[in-house]
Structure 1
Amino acid sequence: MCTWYYAEAKSLSFFIDKASQLPLSDIIMNTMSKSKAMSGNIRPTDMAAVLAPNKQGNVAVFPMIWGFTHESTSKPVINCRIESADTKPLWKDSWYRRRCVIPASWYYEWGVPPSEGELYHKNEYNKIQKEKYAIQPEGAEITYLAGLYRFEEHRGVQVPMFAVITRESVEPVSSIHDRMPLILGKDSLSEWIHPNGDPNKIAKTALTKMVMEKAIDYPEPEPSFM
């Protein structure tokens, strides 16, 4: 699961500056009425700096909006389960042709502290106040979230939209949630993004050693889409 992540302005300045300087960022800002800051807490429908292939198939930086739109819901579709990415109509074409990477500092997850979760009955668990955790790969300054993208028409403009791929979680994340983003190592980025890359093969090399700690800015109101 990934419903919110953090983009630290200094460590991600290379990506954020490049994306914000493109004319596309102004087009998206004016069309979607979104800030082009692309730093701080990034939530669904925000503009963000994303890595995707350029016309030559090489890694490049682009501004995109987080969340596909779909007629079945009024909320943005922000996550794609990897188990159905190659079969569901919403994702299949992007899975094979339009993969991207979202640079983040860390992502957030809400859950009951592992030491306390065992004290609650399953029926009580969903009713208690969750705590906010910051999660990132061990020893990494940048968290590379694997994603998919597509173009959608909004007010007559083709706007690039992205979604984050999720997988079954691993420890210590699994102690508070059963899902987590698919996180790639830096060496896998080019192959993942290239249209001819094998996403199933690359996904098997995803990072699994995570560091999790309580977010220092908790409590903070949960977004309405959660």
Structure 2
Amino acid sequence: MCGRYLFSMEQPTLRQLWEQARQRFPNVKMETGEIFPTHTVPVLIGEENTLSPRPIKWGFPRVGGGGTVINARSETAGEKKMFRNSLMCRRCAVPASGFYEWAHYGERQKYRFTLPEEPVLYLAGLYHTFGGEQRFVILTEPANASMQAVHDRMPVVLKRNELKTWVFDSTKTFALLRREGPPLIRDEAEDFGQEE
């Protein structure tokens, strides 16, 4: 599961992506800092064989209304009507400084996960248009050893050199989803009493 992540403007790569998206879409308000479901944020999509940042809202609307779907299981996304077509033709990458998870074993504690020696990580996502508005979900997979002590699920984390393959090469989609995610660093993070 991934219910929050961090988009830090102190990180030059993220600040540059935010500025590029703002220049192209100056009337769209984008969030920074701790990102919550339904926030609009810069997301990398494929446009004319180039990765382009575009402001997209986090969460597909639920069928019949009543909230949003923010994650899709990588193991079953290809079988679900809500995600199947996006998995084939509308893959995206969600840039982040890290993501948050709360311990589901023992005392409830908020943790931030990052890549070692990499200031930015990219979360594999899918996007689609609903009522003229683009929205995205983050794909999740079973937790690897660096995450299992906190939660049994984690977002599918892409490295920079996997971005174009993920977004553009449909023949490698399932191989990327089946490989184990990279080891992550875990740090305690402040929780201000907000629920996931």
**Is contact 1:106-1:142 (8 Å) kept?**
yes
Alpha-carbon shift at residue 219 of structure 1 (Å):
2.6
Match of 2:17 in 1: 15
Match of 1:132 in 2: 110
Match of 1:144 in 2: 122
Counterpart-to-counterpart distance in 2, 1:176 and 1:185? 22
Note closer, same or farther for the CA distance 1:159–1:73 as it changes in structure 2 (3 Å cut). Answer: closer
Q: 1:181 and 2:181 equivalent?
A: no
Q: 1:221 and 2:193 equivalent?
A: yes
Deviation track 1:61-111 (CA, whole Å, cap 9, x = no partner) reads 111000000225512100000011111000000000000000000000001
**Is contact 1:108-1:133 (8 Å) kept?**
yes
- Select which of 161, 165, 190 maps to 1:191: 165
Counterpart-to-counterpart distance in 1, 2:168 and 2:155? 20
Q: Report SS of the residue matched to 2:93.
A: strand
Q: Which ranges in structure 1 are unaligned for 5 or more consecutive residues?
A: 30-34, 118-124
Match of 1:121 in 2: none
**Is contact 1:95-1:148 (8 Å) kept?**
yes
Q: Which ranges in structure 2 are unaligned for 5 or more consecutive residues?
A: none
Spell out the pairing of 1:72-91 with structure 2 (5 A cutoff): 72=64, 74-91=66-83
Alpha-carbon shift at residue 57 of structure 1 (Å):
3.2
Counterpart-to-counterpart distance in 1, 2:169 and 2:55? 19
Note closer, same or farther for the CA distance 1:102–1:137 as it changes in structure 2 (3 Å cut). Answer: same
Match of 1:102 in 2: 94
Counterpart-to-counterpart distance in 1, 2:168 and 2:180? 17
Counterpart-to-counterpart distance in 2, 1:189 and 1:219? 31
Task: Write the letter of the residue equivalent to 1:52.
Answer: I
Task: Write the letter of the residue equivalent to 2:129.
Answer: F
Counterpart-to-counterpart distance in 2, 1:195 and 1:63? 23
Q: CA RMSD in A?
A: 1.7
Greater gyration radius:
1
Q: Report SS of the residue matched to 2:139.
A: strand
**Is contact 1:96-1:195 (8 Å) kept?**
no
> Normalized against structure 2, the TM-score is what?
0.92
Deviation track 1:118-143 (CA, whole Å, cap 9, x = no partner) reads xxxxxxx5xxx511000012221101
Q: Percent identity?
A: 27
Name the stretch that deviates more: 74-83 or 199-208.
Answer: 199-208
Alpha-carbon shift at residue 205 of structure 1 (Å):
4.6
Counterpart-to-counterpart distance in 2, 1:45 and 1:82? 21
- Equivalent pairs counted in the alignment come to 194
Spell out the pairing of 1:46-85 with structure 2 (5 A cutoff): 46-54=39-47, 56-72=48-64, 74-85=66-77
